[in-house]
Amino acid sequence: MEPKYIFVTGGVTSSLGKGIICSSLGLLLANRGLRVTIQKLDPYINVDPGTMNPYEHGEVYVTDDGAETDLDLGHYERFLGIPTSQDNNVTTGRIYYDVITKERQGAYLGQTVQVIPHITDEIKSRVKAIGDSGKYDIVIVEIGGTVGDIEGLPYIEAMRQLRYDVGRINTLSIHLTLVPYLKAAGELKTKPTQHSVKTIYELGMQPDILVCRAEVPLDHGIRRKIAQFCNVEIEDVIASLDARSIYEVPLLMKQEGLDQRVIKRLQIQAEEPDLERWKQFVEAVSNPSHRIRIALVGKYVDHQDAYMSIVESFRHAGAVNNCEVEIVWVSSDHLSKDNVEELLQGVTGVLVAPGFGGRGIDGKLVAITHARVNKLPFLGICLGMQCAVIEFARNVCGWDDANSTEFNPETSYPIVDLMLEQKNINDKGGTMRLGAYDCALEDDSLAAHAYDKPLISERHRHRYELNNRYINDLALQGLHVTGRNPERDLVEIVEAEDHPWFVGVQFHPELKSTVNRPHPLFVKFVEASMQYASEIGNIEHLSVETQSKTN
């Protein structure tokens, strides 16, 4: 079968959940036995989001092959359970960078290099490269931004051309819009959708399917009106109502028949999807029998997209443990010795988040002392692990000045230091230790018990590392290295003795947790926090009544 391309655009406003719709459709098609991937085209000029502030862009998602990408790729992986790669995220910056590099090399000698055809050709080649790889039956292409944005124009034009290049029957255009409910008028309004579809028409694209975000159900009359004015069949007007969790969206899309319409229009024969396992997961998320509170200590707690994968990993691990993990967001900027008891009251686990730069470090150290001394289950991720080592060095080993050279280059105990190969790097973009590396686990460690295998592979995004010079002294005092990268002898995991569950990891486990494969470290962390909660009588048992209330 020739690869089919499904282009997904958005209109009216941003934040309609295009990434979730793409992931849901991907899941439904994959469950029908089709080989599916999703590609995100982002219209900004950064070559990748790696240099952006989390306030601007939310989490930077890292792939196995070391690409720093848009957080939507995280949803694609969590839903589909298939790793993405550099090829799955293309930005305008990347496209221009490559076109200009080629121009300098003489690839276009004699020509004037222009948006059309050179930029649009480059976009098309990126999309086609995935289709032509032979690995997929379906390539879903999510176009970032909103139709009508100036910077999105070359993408829509490239899609328009691709429809002719690969044949109409091999492509489909899905447009996601908003159908607002006006309380005062007491009715749903279709005009914004009509305008949005008109805008995309003017750019030469006719949407085949409209996915309409709405707060109340679309009745037959509204669907007919949208179909008539927007030139689609009534069955191709799909309602997307607010869901209790993002994981319910595939089930809602199935009910609306989105996947059915897609395969019909693309003339694909495919079996019915089997969603039994997915339903069980949604049920476990919606009706847990316990609830615990875990503190997430970080700098960006007022901008929770910055920790998207951590939040979702807790949801996956919670479902396995039949427990809702309520995240208590704790700003490291505001945490101090004076308020730590109060701010962490009632929590039965502490996670210290990844991050960069010195702001909020003191608060993170206070949270770690609290978890270590009170024997609260603790998970430190990347910077969180580095902070755990700093805290231990200062407060247990007595090295008052111990620090990371990221925060104090003059420290007399540089226990976290720049990796050797980072020392001469000046460029900031794409130059960290990125992507998947192996880690060998110590027998009988908490990590080995969690993973239940001796060698693992996890994704990274950092410049600093635990300084091997101090490992023996730390171990003598009770902080042990239990995971190492075998090739480079880099420390990957530390664990504290005399503590039920205290684990710091240099890598990012949250990037590999999926619905079908909840991450073992998160599963065990939640389990340990539940254990702690029941020991101190702080586990909440949810009755059937409360369960339905939480829904």
Residue 491 binds to ligand GLN (criterion: CB under 6 A): no
Shortest Cβ 178–ligand GLN spacing (Å): 35
- Among 10, 345, 328, 351, residue whose Cα is nearest residue 176: 10
Shortest Cβ 129–ligand GLN spacing (Å): 29
Cβ-contact 142, 39 below 8 angstroms: yes
Residue linked to tokens 């949208």: 226
Cβ-contact 465, 356 below 8 angstroms: no
Q: Report the distance separating Cα 164 and Cα 167, nearest Å.
A: 5
Shortest Cβ 358–ligand GLN spacing (Å): 10
Q: State the number of binding residues for ligand GLN (CB under 6 A).
A: 10
Residue 354 binds to ligand GLN (criterion: CB under 6 A): yes
Task: Give residues with Cβ within 8 angstroms of 324, minimum separation 6.
Answer: 288, 290, 291, 292, 318, 542, 550
Cβ-based nearer residue to ligand GLN, 108 or 329: 329
**Binding to ligand GLN in span 116-155, by CB under 6 A:** none
Out of 128, 189, 279, 463, which residue is the one contacting ligand GLN (CB under 6 A)?
A: 463
Segment interacting with ligand GLN (CB under 6 A) among 197-205, 246-254, 458-466, 497-505: 458-466
Out of 50, 355, 380, 504, which residue is the one contacting ligand GLN (CB under 6 A)?
A: 355
Shortest Cβ 465–ligand GLN spacing (Å): 7
Mark whether 510 is an active-site residue. yes
Shortest Cβ 506–ligand GLN spacing (Å): 8
**Pick the catalytic residue: 22, 212, 230, 382?**
382
Shortest Cβ 403–ligand GLN spacing (Å): 13
Mark whether 382 is an active-site residue. yes
Site track 382-411 with ligand GLN (rule: CB under 6 A), x = hit: xx----------------------x-----
Q: Report the distance separating Cα 313 and Cα 308, nearest Å.
A: 9
Q: Report the distance separating Cα 536 and Cα 348, nearest Å.
A: 9
- Helix (H), strand (E) at residue 93: helix 92-105
Cβ-based nearer residue to ligand GLN, 354 or 414: 354
Cβ-based nearer residue to ligand GLN, 36 or 306: 306
Cβ-defined contacts of 81-89 (< 8 Å, 24+): 81/514, 81/515, 81/516, 81/517, 82/30, 82/36, 82/37, 84/37, 84/38, 87/39, 87/126, 87/129, 87/130, 88/37, 88/38, 88/39, 88/40, 88/63, 88/130, 89/39, 89/40, 89/42, 89/48
Segment interacting with ligand GLN (CB under 6 A) among 87-95, 462-470, 473-481, 540-548: 462-470
Q: Say how many residues make up the chain.
A: 551
Residue linked to tokens 């590392």: 465
- Among 174, 182, 163, residue whose Cα is nearest residue 120: 163
In three state form, how does the secondary structure of 252-288 look?
A: HHHHHCHHHHHHHHCCCCCCCCCCHHHHHHHHHHHCC
Q: Report the distance separating Cα 130 and Cα 142, nearest Å.
A: 14
Shortest Cβ 401–ligand GLN spacing (Å): 19
Out of 4, 291, 316, 462, which residue is the one contacting ligand GLN (CB under 6 A)?
A: 462
Residue 501 binds to ligand GLN (criterion: CB under 6 A): no
Cβ-contact 539, 465 below 8 angstroms: no
Cβ-based nearer residue to ligand GLN, 214 or 382: 382
Cβ-contact 9, 141 below 8 angstroms: no
Mark whether 508 is an active-site residue. yes
Residue 57 binds to ligand GLN (criterion: CB under 6 A): no
Cβ-based nearer residue to ligand GLN, 288 or 354: 354
**Pick the catalytic residue: 75, 290, 508, 519?**
508
Residue 356 binds to ligand GLN (criterion: CB under 6 A): yes
Residue 462 phi/psi, 5° resolution?
Answer: -160, 165
SS3 111: coil
Cβ-based nearer residue to ligand GLN, 126 or 462: 462
Out of 79, 399, 464, 502, which residue is the one contacting ligand GLN (CB under 6 A)?
A: 464
Mode of pairing for the β-strands spanning 237-241 and 209-214:
parallel
> What is the contact surface with ligand GLN in residues (CB under 6 A)?
354-356, 382-383, 406, 461-464
Task: Catalogue the active-site residues.
Answer: 382, 508, 510
